[in-house]
A and B are shown apart, each in its own frame.
Chain A
Amino acid sequence: MKDDKLRKAAEKITMPDDLKNRILDQCSEISANEKRCGIDHNTVSGVERVQSHPIRRTLTAVAACAVLAAGVGTGIHFMPKSGGSESASSTSEKELDVDESALPADISVIFNNDFVCEGSRELTEEQRNDIKYIVCGFDWTEITQEEFGNIDEADSIYWFEAVDGAYIYTLTLYDNDRAFFVRNTPEDQSEDSGAEVNGIYFRVKSAEIVEKMTEYFSSGDETEVPDGEAVPPLAGIAEREYKEIGYSSDNPLSEEQRLALDKLVSETEFRLEPNCNAVYRVPAYFFTDTDAESSLTYFYSTGVAEVREYGKTWFYQFDFDKFSKAVDEILFPDSIYSGADLVCRNMLNENVTMHAMKLCENKTLSDEGRQAMYSFLSNARFRKVDDFDDIQTYICTPSCDWYSRKLGFESYDFFCEESCWSMIFYDCGKLEVIDYSSGEQEVGYYLYDDNIGLDTAVHDAFPEFSSSYPLFGSLYKMGEIKVNGEVVEERMVKNLSNAFFGYDYSNNVVNDSFRSEEPVYTIETSAMQTEAGEEYTLTIRVYKDGTLEYNDTEGKIHSFDKLGFPEPMGEPLLTFDIETALDPDFYE
């Protein structure tokens, strides 16, 4: 078979004229709409299919009743912050202000029903009205299923659901700029459904909706700590059968797991306090006893644990990050790997060549590089998963470095051809290991949580990569970032950070002060602590001629007269890239 034959055969496939006409007709329609309304209607028509939704973790009827009883019993009562401590009548006054017509009709349906939130936790009529009030304050845009994409509801912050006749309505809010409203049918939500379905999707592109929801739920009256002895998290787990309520199934805990969790909670500091902030968020972990489902413990990523037992509720504060790592190791013992288990057996063999590739640049690993990477891997923790669905990757063109950075994709690829082994670190915390030494390709997917450790190891391993590494570090690891006084949306920070990679930082002039010229961009981080314990705010100034300045921790100003622009772009990349990173349209 000649490869040319394949190409020639394929060339006989040509685009039908009616498809060309359809595309052009749709473009004309969009263009006309834009002109007529001056707004983006998002009228892209596509295949209207609904993705399968994971089965929400819901309690059985017994547990749901227990939750409801607990909620009512403790008298939890929420008021929107704007309402302050006004009387309950403010809800009805506010109801008059709710402009439900601002919502697409399909969204309004959810509010005409008794909707519940995560874990079948029911809401009072007053709460439903308040939530409607918040939701009505945003512009919802209809999107296609394709635009909706593959959303992992496990990552959501708030989740509400209503059932009305044949349809299920869900409102899901995430911690960035994503909020979705979806209407579909129970059959659509079934993993086994092969039917074509007619889901309807709406989106709000604003982080504010989550902020408002959090503000609302945080501003409720503090709950009274119930009388009597407080029940601790996972009470009696050493003696009773327990299960973890997962997204797709309940996971009964083995005795070994229960004992380990019992030990963990006894070693973790839980501080009892009246606090209802966490309620109605999606918990990170949710446990209940198996028999009566009368004892419920929720652990939230905000560092709040909620314990419900026999109509009483207690709230605790604790160190979530530390606790979470330990829980993962107990719940998913077979999924946690030390990096040492994943390393190519020849990584430290001096006779074997190890390569590393960052974007399109290929390097040979030095002995020091091997050691640095091995050291990082040996100390890092990886959790095995089935697959990655959402790594966005883009083509490498001749100016691949520019193109990849522009699109926010970056990875480190380590490979050893002699051993037929490859390890790819994606900077979104994902690792892919490919081993085809047996002749068959074996691929493992892992999550890791030590981006900084990886960066440090890579920069120790490849000082030559570091020439393009900003001397001030990666902005996206520095918390809140402001550009010209405005806080940058989280989704933009990563690309803004990437905009500073790839320049020649060797041409470094040190001054005592910034130039007097007005910069085009002033980028500031929030206050950080230096190693000496002093407060430090990183300020980067970018001038019209492309010059960049930043202040170091000692107050010195580092200046870069000229920035390198990768060929063949040949245009002022820095300005272009910062603009792009801050351009909301780029993220459409």
Chain B
Amino acid sequence: MLSCDAIRDAVEEYGDMLYRTCVLMLGNVHDAEDAVQETYITYMRKAPPFSDSEHEKAWLLTVAANKCRDMLRYRKRHITEPESVLDTLVQDSESSYILEALMMLPDKFRIVLTLHYIDGYKVEEIAGMIGKSASAVKMRLQKGRKLLKEAYRKE
């Protein structure tokens, strides 16, 4: 099991990245907080070995993304109240508009756009992460970009 100091370091290093990704994937602050919190607890308990910080980052992001996907699957079966979260998280309206537009997209497009444009992962890496082919990811990125552009114009 990892020490609390190690977790503190990991929170400082990757906390913002994980939180941001979870918020954008889930569109819900409370669920995002749960996902991030559980990710770190899993990390503490498993204490997986890593060769470098990239591995560590990838592992944390993957665990968090899988938790988000579980939550999204849960939502498919249960009606949950939509929540507007960005007003409280992002103060300036310009940034808020584009993120609101992103949040309006269906899950499958929002997730690949977040991972690619915000977290900086390559198509092949996202394919491995979400269990789709690289071609499918490319298609989602392409269509997601188009949808985002349309949604942003409306905003």
Interface residue ranges, A against B (CB under 8 Å): 1, 3, 5-16, 19-20, 22-24, 26-28, 30-31, 34, 40, 44-47, 49, 51-52, 144, 146, 149-150, 191, 193-194, 357, 360, 389, 391-400, 403-404, 409, 413, 415, 417, 420, 422, 424, 432, 434, 436, 441, 443, 568-571, 576, 585-586, 588
- In the complex the two chains form, is A52's CB within 8 Å of B23's CB? no
Contacts A10-B24, A415-B135 given: A150-B73 contact, CB under 8 Å?
yes
Q: Which of A8, A26, A191, A389 meets B37, CB within 8 Å? A: A26
A255 CB to closest chain B CB (Å) equals 35
B89 surroundings in chain A (CB, below 8 A):
12-13
- In the complex the two chains form, is B74's CB within 8 Å of A51's CB? yes
Q: Which of B67, B80, B125 meets A397, CB within 8 Å? A: B125
A188 CB to closest chain B CB (Å) equals 10
A7 surroundings in chain B (CB, below 8 A):
117-118
Whole-angstrom distance between the alpha carbons of A46 and B34 in the complex?
6
Whole-angstrom distance between the alpha carbons of A465 and B63 in the complex?
29
B70 surroundings in chain A (CB, below 8 A):
146, 149-150
Whole-angstrom distance between the alpha carbons of A571 and B130 in the complex?
28
Whole-angstrom distance between the alpha carbons of A5 and B34 in the complex?
28
- In the complex the two chains form, is A27's CB within 8 Å of B40's CB? yes
CB neighbors of A among B41-81 (8 A): 41-42, 44-46, 49, 51-52, 54-55, 58-59, 61-62, 66-67, 70-71, 73-74, 77-80
- In the complex the two chains form, is B37's CB within 8 Å of A194's CB? no
Contacts A19-B33, A420-B135 given: A13-B90 contact, CB under 8 Å?
yes
B86 CB to closest chain A CB (Å) equals 8
A49 surroundings in chain B (CB, below 8 A):
74, 78
- In the complex the two chains form, is B15's CB within 8 Å of A27's CB? no
A sample of 15 cross-chain residue pairs with beta-carbon separation below 8 angstroms, ordered by A number, consists of A5-B98, A6-B118, A9-B96, A12-B89, A13-B24, A13-B89, A23-B36, A26-B41, A31-B1, A194-B78, A357-B133, A393-B129, A394-B129, A422-B133, A441-B143
Q: Which of A20, A27, A193 meets B4, CB within 8 Å? A: A27
Total interface residues in chain B, CB < 8 Å: 77
B26 CB to closest chain A CB (Å) equals 11
Which of B54, B118, B131 is packed against the most chain A CB atoms within 10 Å? B131
Contacts A52-B77, A360-B124, A394-B62 given: A19-B36 contact, CB under 8 Å?
yes
- In the complex the two chains form, is A15's CB within 8 Å of B135's CB? no
Beta-carbon nearest neighbor of B29 in chain A: A16
Q: Which of B34, B52, B90 meets A9, CB within 8 Å? A: B90
CB neighbors of A among B107-136 (8 A): 113-114, 117-118, 121, 124-125, 127-136
Contacts A3-B117, A441-B139 given: A397-B55 contact, CB under 8 Å?
yes
- In the complex the two chains form, is A15's CB within 8 Å of B15's CB? yes
B132 surroundings in chain A (CB, below 8 A):
424, 432, 434
- In the complex the two chains form, is A44's CB within 8 Å of B117's CB? no
B138 CB to closest chain A CB (Å) equals 10
Whole-angstrom distance between the alpha carbons of A389 and B94 in the complex?
37
B19 surroundings in chain A (CB, below 8 A):
13-16, 19
CB neighbors of A among B73-107 (8 A): 73-74, 77-80, 89-92, 94-96, 98-99, 102
Q: Which of A6, A46, A150, A389 meets B38, CB within 8 Å? A: A46
A14 surroundings in chain B (CB, below 8 A):
16, 19-20
- In the complex the two chains form, is A15's CB within 8 Å of B24's CB? no
Interface of B is mostly: helix
Q: Which of B33, B38, B79, B139 meets A44, CB within 8 Å? A: B38
- In the complex the two chains form, is A1's CB within 8 Å of B1's CB? no
Q: Which of B1, B55, B102 meets A6, CB within 8 Å? A: B102
Whole-angstrom distance between the alpha carbons of A8 and B31 in the complex?
23
Q: Which of B3, B46, B128, B136 meets A396, CB within 8 Å? A: B128
B129 surroundings in chain A (CB, below 8 A):
393-396
- In the complex the two chains form, is A571's CB within 8 Å of B124's CB? no
- In the complex the two chains form, is A12's CB within 8 Å of B95's CB? yes
Contacts A1-B98, A20-B11, A396-B128 given: A13-B54 contact, CB under 8 Å?
no
B38 surroundings in chain A (CB, below 8 A):
44, 46, 144, 146
A44 surroundings in chain B (CB, below 8 A):
38, 41-42, 45
Q: Which of B7, B23, B99, B117 meets A24, CB within 8 Å? A: B7
Contacts A19-B33, A397-B125 given: A10-B74 contact, CB under 8 Å?
no
Whole-angstrom distance between the alpha carbons of A91 and B89 in the complex?
63
B79 surroundings in chain A (CB, below 8 A):
194
- In the complex the two chains form, is B34's CB within 8 Å of A15's CB? no
B148 CB to closest chain A CB (Å) equals 7
Contacts A31-B3, A395-B128 given: A47-B34 contact, CB under 8 Å?
yes
- In the complex the two chains form, is A20's CB within 8 Å of B135's CB? no
Nearest 9 Cβ contacts at the A-B interface:
A393-B131, A396-B128, A9-B95, A194-B79, A15-B19, A15-B15, A422-B133, A395-B129, A13-B20
- In the complex the two chains form, is A23's CB within 8 Å of B58's CB? no
Contacts A27-B40, A422-B135, A441-B136 given: A397-B95 contact, CB under 8 Å?
no
- In the complex the two chains form, is A422's CB within 8 Å of B55's CB? no
Whole-angstrom distance between the alpha carbons of A345 and B80 in the complex?
42
Whole-angstrom distance between the alpha carbons of A395 and B11 in the complex?
20
A191 surroundings in chain B (CB, below 8 A):
77
- In the complex the two chains form, is A568's CB within 8 Å of B40's CB? no
Whole-angstrom distance between the alpha carbons of A357 and B127 in the complex?
12
Beta-carbon nearest neighbor of A569 in chain B: B51
A2 CB to closest chain B CB (Å) equals 10
- In the complex the two chains form, is A1's CB within 8 Å of B148's CB? yes
A34 surroundings in chain B (CB, below 8 A):
1
Contacts A10-B99, A150-B70, A194-B78 given: A394-B128 contact, CB under 8 Å?
yes
Q: Which of B41, B80, B124, B148 meets A194, CB within 8 Å? A: B80
B80 surroundings in chain A (CB, below 8 A):
194
A1-B152, A14-B20, A15-B18 known; 13 new pairs, CB 8 Å cut-off, are A9-B90, A12-B92, A13-B19, A15-B19, A23-B11, A34-B1, A51-B77, A360-B124, A395-B59, A396-B128, A434-B132, A443-B136, A570-B51
